[in-house]
Amino acid sequence: MNPLLSAFDTAPFSQLKNEHFMPAFVQAIADARAEIDAITDNKAVPSFKNTIAALDYSGKQLDRVSSVFFNLNSAETNDEIQKIAQEVSPLLSEFGNDITLNVALFKRVKAVYDQRESLDLTVEEQTLLDKKYKGFSRNGANLSEDKKKRLREIDAELAKLKLTFGENVLAETNAYQMHLTDEADLDGLPEGEKEAAAQLAQSKDKEGWLITLDYPSYIPFMKYATNRKLRKELSIAFGSKGFHKDALDNQENVLKIARLRHERAALLGYATHAHFVLEERMAETPEKVQEFLNELLAKAKPAAVKEFQQLKDFAKELDGIEQLQKWDASYYSEKLKQKLFDLDDEKLKPYFKLENVIAGVFKVAEKLFGLQFQEVFDIDTYHSDVKTYRIYDEHKKLVSLFYADFHPRAGKRGGAWMTSFKSQYVENGLNERPQVSNVCNFTKPTASKPSLLTFNEVTTLFHEFGHGLHGMLANTVYPSLSGTSVYWDFVELPSQILENWCYEKEALALFATHYETGAVIPMELVQKIKDSATFQEGMQTLRQLSFGLLDMAWHGADPKAITDVKAHEDQAFEGTDLYPATPETCMSTSFSHIFQGGYASGYYSYKWAEVLDADAFAYFKEEGIFNKEVATKFKEHILSKGGTENPMELYKKFRGAEPKIEPLLERAGLL
């Protein structure tokens, strides 16, 4: 019996074999098709219930199979799973097209949509109806047959290209290792990082130390290693993923993806891919995004130029560096930060043992939203690293299941993300609770030390848990409007706002205790964290804006004339680059957010959501960071509502007004 085809609540990971996936997809797609046929064959007059709601509840088994499979492909993949992904992606893309290009189905949806004014619908129902109609019209339902055919071809090709892009980046990351046998090459590296590098070498039957392109290995080396030549080698390896004119080169994939997206948008009547995407975002148009990015650029650039000059002067004074390069950035920034604030990540790490930080984020969620967390051991997982929790509200009712997967390994892509194995929705009077997962890549415990986080990793954990809360506290009727199913430039608000608690002594006192002595983090260290929060904020802002501008350069104009990926990228970075160019590196070829993930034409949304989160947190600061009333409003109007209403309306219900940019500029020290 195929475990994916029987009804399951939690994913039956331990029973799964790779050969189960393809048959499960084939069967689940067939079942979902039958559900669609039942809607189109219905002789009754099209209504909201028999057409729109029925459509939203269809394909649940397929959703479950997809979520299990694609989460494994990100967090615990292998060659076979990647091969299945390549085979299954076109099938799913074709099935998606079969729905949106289904004439009989669209006819029914349109019939309901055309009488929307006379239907007595709730706000959520109106939103769902609008979303379903646009799902058809924005994906080709009104096209002629030959154009529909071309749309299908484009979608199938894009599905495969995006997968290949991601596989190449992962393969490049895994292929590189810096094998060091002379301890002098590790000069400057903290003991814990050295031990981790030795442990990694040992696990690969090598003498000495191994440094890789995984963040927990790469970042400390760039930050602390005194050997400039090795920093350069590592930096170039990291920055040139997918840019080696070999079998894993992504340049052609980048050009193809950009051109196909543009062609697809043009088929649907949009000027560019960005015009198509932004129609369904808070920002609305590429012009507005460009204006937003440029406004912030004008505010941040003078500060960034000043900070860069300070860094150059410092490196010259310290080590006689005549020309500061990209591989010097983290190293000298860390040294300067230590000098200015006497704040060293290594001094902070003992206060941020992973287990304590997890307990801390739970405590913050408990104080704000009344949640109780219970670690459990009866839920099946895909790897022994994964921890599982049941989450209850103050009335002991189950809110959500939570999976936490925090350490790097070969089958896991880099970075950090939130995902879910099951959405929340209400059907037949039953409120189905969600199953949410956070995946990160933090240093593993070593023989002598537990997993100790850098402050940056602490904020990453809080960030992803903020997304998690958006999923866990979801309380909507329809699955496609639940949890994080919101406008893309709104989705980062719950994650980014939670990072703010990491800077507040009232919150830090709950969990930042020394892993050996149990002493609470000294308040002067907390003050230093706060003082240093705006350190090089101008340069950081410039860096984020550069990614947003690069994204718009790929998607906000016709890419047909682009033949040279690197030259196009250099042009996009022109107004934001402070360091000398490095011809060997190229960001686009490993910019997974926009070429593999869903951030195409949406990278600006990190900064956009920062405006929201700074404004929202200013409200908490006014009333108290654990103020129950403000937290309840945030839970009711933001976290539980998903995509049931226009996000600006939800925000105004929470805050009482539209967000202002000033709190962000003030927090960043850019006023």
Active site residues: 464
Residue type, 368: L
How far is CA 306 from its chain centroid? 31
* Distance of alpha carbon 304 from the chain centroid: 26
Assigned token pair, 168 = 């190449």
Q: Which stretches within 579-624 are classed as H helix?
A: 592-595, 605-623
Chain-centroid distance of CA 175 in Å reads 24
CB 46 within 8 A of CB 55: no
Longest dimension (CA), the chain: 82
CB 350 within 8 A of CB 515: yes
Based on the number of CB atoms within 10 Å of its own CB, is 120 exposed (0-12), middle (13-18) or buried (19 or more)?
Answer: exposed
Q: How far apart are CA 176 and CA 508, in angstroms?
A: 37
Residue ranges of alpha helices (H) inside 176-250 are 191-203, 215-224, 228-239
DSSP string, 415-437: S-EEEEEE--EEETTEEEPPEEE
Q: Report yes or no: 399 and 365 within 8 Å, Cβ to Cβ.
A: no
One-letter amino acid identity for 131? K
- What 3-state DSSP class applies to 427? strand
Count CA atoms closer than 13 A to 634's CA, side-chain side. Answer: 27
Cα separation values, 383 from 13, 199, 242, 409, 417, Å: 9, 20, 29, 10, 17
Residue 319 in tokens: 């080590």
Residue 244 belongs to what H/E stretch? none
β-pair partners for 251 = none
Of 129, 99, 127, 104, which Cα lies nearest the Cα of 115? 129
Dihedral over Cα of 327, 331, 332, 334: its sign: positive
CA-based nearest residue to 319, from 181, 182, 227, 429: 227
How far is the C-alpha of 185 from the C-alpha of 170, rounded, in Å?
A: 26
